[in-house]
Chains A and B, each alone.
Chain A
C-alpha cells in the first residue's frame, strides 16, 4: 500500500531564507505531484515530476525527484510572503495518495 509522508508539517520562516520540504513515499511510484493550497481555496498544481532525477523550477520553487530513494523535495529560494500556503505532495498508485501537507508561513 502506497503511503506518502511529508515533513515538516509546519514551517515558519523569514523572508529571504531558503528551505526544503521533503516528501517520502513507501512503494514504487515514478510520478510525483506538488500542489499548493491557500486557506479556504482549492488545490493548484505546481509540478509533475515524471522520472528519476527530474528537476523542475518555477520562480522561487524548485522540485526534484529521486525514485531510488523514494524522495521528492520542494526547495524554496529567498522566500517571499506570497509563498505562504500549504504545500502537498502526492504520489500515484491507481489514484493520487496525498501527504498531510506542509503549512508554510513566511513572515515579512
Chain B
C-alpha cells in the first residue's frame, strides 16, 4: 500500500539554524500539507499546497517558514531560523481528493537546542 514517507525521522539543530524537512507524498496525489504537533499538544495545521502554490496557511506559518515541491516528487518544509519553540513533530500529508482523506507520514521530530 502506498504511503507518505518523511526524512529524517529525527533532526537536532541549534537555535538560529535553518532546517529542511523532506516528504515524499503518495505518487498520484495532488494536495500536500504540513502539520506540527508540540509534545503533549494537539496536531496543528501549518500549510496546504496545490498546483505549485500555497492554497491555505495558518497563523503559525509566518515568514520563517516556506514550502517547495522542487522536483515533482518531494515536498519540503524549510524553517529559516529555528527557535526553541519550533521543537515539535512535523507531519506531512497528501491527498488526491482535497480535504477528504488525507494520508499522513510518520513525522519528523525536530529538536531545537
Query: Are A and B physically bound partners?
Result: no
